């Protein structure tokens, strides 16, 4: 500071040195550990009376949830969102509800789960890209309930669309039917974009006459190419899909473990059973009668799981990338793997007749399926064969078998024992058809098929659940921090919605302070022959909480299991890799150097944050997969434009009706603007959309006939209109008109 300055000027300079809120937050985030207030003051040259102002600034930031205080003098970044914050709608879920995330969110991190609720009836529902001011209420670890206060503006970040070249540069054609406005891209902002390409652009801020303006960030692919749909889902969900050269190089030196003491299971006829299009094989199974006299008619099972932890060491470049991805993501035309192909498709994959390192669990169950004991050990196996579900089912029913039939028979008999225990336990048994999108070689949709659920599917499911129970039990016994798969009981508000909707079907949900999964099973059994049985199954599913990962074990409501951890899929789930590490370390199955042990312990200390992260990547994957499936479905329906189909109303919103088509299982939307007449009133308690003037009331479960009027895969639009000549609609209209006339007379 210059000696020529007066005392007044010197004081002004010191005042100017007081940091802004953003500078203060940035400084605290840049530090590896907590920031001491004294050091913050020294960094910004804050002295004397200004220290009190700095202290007040820190307290304000703490109150806003932007930083956290570890003790009186130390401050750290906060992962907690402020009580009032701006959110942006980044997607619309299958029920038509907006999915939101905080603005300016670090795109390298998965979004926290935020359940949006519209506050005032006068506030319109937000659309895709809308920015909204919300009041947040914490609802568990990194989950929030948001009350919409008011709209702020449209999101001004990055957008994906199709580039259309013009003389002046080009236009960005929207791939979202709900946003039909084109965006102008000047010649000097188009970069290498070519006509007809999918591109990612950044909106140019500021006021512009006419159209909004944008700058090309990068081309993605040709919009007409076979992989365009999945690439849209990948980019819209910010899913990492490319592996760096250093990471790929790190896999070149990896090989199967040699001269390491492992249980030798190479002569045990373990087999893999997966779908016909499975890309990775991380589990193999075996069953034989238990030879112990203490367990008459009981079974000895072996579930061998790929030993991914041998190859992916804590805090290695492979580990950091696997953590970032959290899980593999599956699309009809490709997989975005958590691990690079050298591991997921080769070294870690339990390929037939190849020696592979495993973490195996031996399980001993009674004839009624009760788990008596278990033992985890590192092993080496050689799979006796790669089977698919249909093949195994056919062998069990008498088809020729490439391995001794007794191996298959033993698996099924052990499965029957496990099924007995499952039924006794009271697992939530939802009966929901699963569809599969089948593609032609060129990438076009060939068909959408309903998957027939076989006993072979259930067999593998029960073997895996039993192995996961053993893992959860062992981790609890070891009494060290670990990641559990948890599923909370249903939210009371969701149950109240379910109760109101079931009442519309003349069905009651018994009132109870504490619900068990078996209570829902009783209801489902009672309604098995109900004409809307499938929809009721869907409604019960929607009422359930989301399953998550956490070191704070509260049990698994849906499976009715107290100790449960994901153990069986470490190739595709980071949670399972962590469970393997915890078991190996806790049981002393590997000697590690001190440096690596420290890294492993550091990971354990971070389990709460890791659980939040991988729960978020799990949700991100589900959203991306649904996004792609919706677009593929729309592409398939485009060949049936103008044709009539029957279906059922599966969702009712203020904006219109969701219709699930019979046989195909595809879903589309009937906008309220395309319903006969206007002035439709939405009843949010009964989920109905009514026009009293015309005597029309649309409700959940109503059978309808629709015409497909718009279907576009790239734009994810499947728009229907109700065929007003449909007899069921006419009957409904007459019935409602009659009721309306009675009300009018009164």
CB 327 within 8 A of CB 572: yes
> Which of 88-102, 168-182, 188-202 has the least mean pLDDT?
88-102
pLDDT value of position 13:
41
> Which CATH architecture fits 158-225?
Beta Barrel (2.40)
In terms of Cβ atoms closer than 10 Å to its own Cβ (0-12, 13-18, 19+), residue 258 is exposed
Is the predicted pLDDT of residue 397 greater than 50, yes or no? yes
Is the predicted pLDDT of residue 328 greater than 60, yes or no? yes
pLDDT digit string, tens, across residues 211-222: 788 899 999 999
pLDDT value of position 166:
93
Is the predicted pLDDT of residue 593 greater than 70, yes or no? no
What is the average per-residue pLDDT within 446-474?
A: 97
Q: Which two tokens stand for residue 122?
A: 């006068």
Pairing of strands 703-712, 644-653: antiparallel
Is the predicted pLDDT of residue 646 greater than 90, yes or no? yes
What is the average per-residue pLDDT within 1-5?
A: 44
CATH number of the domain located at residue range(s) 641-745 in this protein: 2.40.50.140
pLDDT value of position 269:
98
CB 407 within 8 A of CB 392: no
pLDDT value of position 1:
42
CA distance 704 to 74: 63
DSSP letter at 437?
Answer: E
pLDDT value of position 240:
95
pLDDT band at 590 (very low <50, low <70, confident <90, very high): confident
CA distance 649 to 11: 70
Q: Is the dihedral of CA 253, 259, 261, 265 positive or negative?
A: positive
pLDDT value of position 184:
92
CB 151 within 8 A of CB 123: yes
In terms of Cβ atoms closer than 10 Å to its own Cβ (0-12, 13-18, 19+), residue 264 is exposed
Kindly list the domain boundaries of the chain, sorted by start residue: 7-77, 84-154, 158-225, 247-427+449-481+555-609, 492-543, 641-745
Residue with token string 């359940």: 115
The mean of the pLDDT values for the chain is 87
Q: Which CATH topology does 84-154 take?
A: OB fold (Dihydrolipoamide Acetyltransferase, E2P) (2.40.50)
pLDDT value of position 644:
96
CA distance 73 to 719: 59
Largest CA distance in the chain: 101
- Are the folds of 84-154 and 158-225 the same? yes
CATH number of the domain located at residue range(s) 7-77 in this protein: 1.10.10.10
What is the average per-residue pLDDT within 117-129?
A: 66
More confident residue, 389 or 258: 389
> Which of 24-28, 186-190, 648-652 has the least mean pLDDT?
24-28
CB 560 within 8 A of CB 427: yes
pLDDT digit string, tens, across residues 485-510: 999 999 888 898 899 889 888 888 87
For residue 192, the surrounding DSSP H or E stretch is none
Percent of the chain with pLDDT over 70: 86
More confident residue, 546 or 593: 546
What is the average per-residue pLDDT within 340-352?
A: 96
What is the average per-residue pLDDT within 282-287?
A: 98
Is the predicted pLDDT of residue 251 greater than 60, yes or no? yes
What is the average per-residue pLDDT within 453-471?
A: 98
Is the predicted pLDDT of residue 274 greater than 90, yes or no? yes
pLDDT digit string, tens, across residues 238-247: 999 999 999 9
């Amino acid at each position: 500071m210059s000696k020529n300055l007066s005392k007044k000027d010197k004081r002004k300079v010191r005042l100017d040195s007081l940091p802004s809120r953003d500078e203060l937050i940035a400084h605290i985030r840049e530090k590896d550990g907590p920031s001491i207030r004294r050091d913050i003051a020294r960094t910004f040259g804050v002295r004397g009376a200004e220290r009190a102002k700095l202290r007040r600034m820190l307290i304000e930031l703490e109150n806003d949830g932007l930083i956290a205080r570890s003790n009186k003098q130390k401050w750290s970044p906060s992962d907690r969102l402020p009580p009032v914050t701006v959110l942006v709608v980044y997607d619309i879920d299958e029920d038509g509800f907006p999915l939101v995330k905080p603005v300016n969110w670090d795109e390298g991190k998965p979004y926290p789960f935020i359940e949006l609720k519209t506050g005032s009836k006068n506030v319109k529902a937000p659309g895709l890209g809308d920015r909204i001011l919300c009041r947040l209420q914490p609802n568990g670890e990194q989950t929030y309930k948001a009350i919409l206060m008011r709209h702020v503006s449209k999101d001004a970040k990055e957008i994906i669309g199709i580039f259309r070249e013009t003389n002046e540069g080009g236009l960005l054609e929207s791939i979202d039917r709900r946003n039909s406005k084109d965006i102008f891209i000047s010649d000097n902002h188009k970069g290498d974009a070519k006509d007809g390409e999918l591109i990612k652009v950044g909106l140019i801020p500021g006021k512009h006459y006419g159209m909004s303006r944008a700058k090309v960030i990068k081309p993605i692919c040709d919009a007409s190419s076979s992989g365009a749909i999945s690439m849209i889902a990948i980019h819209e969900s910010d899913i990492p899909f490319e592996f760096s050269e250093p990471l790929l190089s790190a896999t070149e030196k990896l090989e199967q473990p040699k001269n390491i003491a492992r249980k030798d299971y190479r002569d045990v006829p373990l087999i893999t059973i997966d779908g016909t299009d499975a890309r990775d094989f991380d589990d193999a199974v075996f069953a034989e009668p238990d030879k112990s006299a203490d367990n008459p008619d009981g079974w000895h099972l072996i579930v061998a799981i790929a030993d991914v932890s041998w190859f992916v060491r804590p805090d290695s470049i492979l580990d950091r990338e696997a953590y970032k991805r959290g899980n593999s993501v599956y699309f009809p035309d490709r997989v975005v793997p958590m691990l690079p192909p050298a591991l997921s498709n080769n070294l870690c994959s339990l390929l037939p007749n190849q020696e592979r390192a495993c973490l195996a669990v031996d399980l001993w169950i009674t004839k009624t399926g009760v788990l008596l004991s278990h033992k985890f050990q590192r092993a080496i196996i050689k799979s006796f064969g790669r089977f698919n579900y249909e093949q195994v089912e056919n062998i069990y029913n008498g088809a020729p078998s490439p391995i001794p039939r007794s191996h298959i028979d033993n698996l099924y008999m052990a499965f029957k024992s496990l099924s007995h225990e499952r039924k006794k336990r009271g697992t939530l048994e939802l009966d929901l058809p699963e569809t599969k999108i089948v593609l032609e070689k060129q990438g076009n949709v060939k068909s959408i098929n309903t998957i027939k659920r076989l006993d072979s599917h259930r067999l593998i499911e029960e073997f895996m659940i039993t192995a996961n129970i053993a893992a959860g039990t062992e981790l609890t016994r070891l009494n060290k921090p670990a990641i559990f798969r948890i599923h909370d009981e249903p939210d009371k508000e969701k149950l109240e919605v379910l109760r109101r909707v079931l009442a519309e079907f003349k069905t009651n949900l018994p009132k109870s302070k504490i619900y068990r999964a078996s209570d829902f099973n009783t209801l489902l059994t009672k309604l098995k022959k109900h004409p809307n049985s499938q929809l009721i199954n869907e409604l019960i599913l929607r009422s359930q909480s989301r399953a998550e990962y956490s070191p704070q074990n509260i049990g698994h409501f849906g499976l009715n299991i107290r100790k449960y951890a994901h153990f069986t899929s470490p190739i595709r789930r980071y949670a399972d890799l962590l469970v393997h590490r915890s078991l190996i370390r806790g049981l002393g199955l590997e000697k590690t150097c001190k440096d690596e042990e420290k890294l492993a312990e550091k990971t354990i200390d971070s389990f709460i944050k890791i659980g939040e992260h991988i729960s978020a990547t799990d949700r991100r994957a589900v959203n991306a997969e649904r996004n792609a499936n919706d677009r593929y479905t729309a592409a398939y329906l485009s060949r049936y434009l103008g044709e009539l189909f029957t279906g059922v109303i599966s969702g009712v919103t203020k904006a219109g009706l969701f219709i699930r088509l019979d046989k195909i299982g595809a879903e589309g939307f009937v906008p309220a603007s395309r319903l006969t007449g206007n002035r439709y009133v939405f009843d949010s308690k009964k989920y109905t959309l009514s026009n009293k003037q015309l005597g029309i009331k649309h409700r959940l479960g109503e059978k309808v006939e629709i015409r497909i009027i718009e279907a576009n895969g790239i734009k994810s639009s499947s728009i229907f209109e109700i065929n007003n000549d449909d007899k069921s609609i006419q009957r409904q209209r007459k019935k409602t008109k009659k009721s309306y006339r009675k009300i009018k007379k009164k």
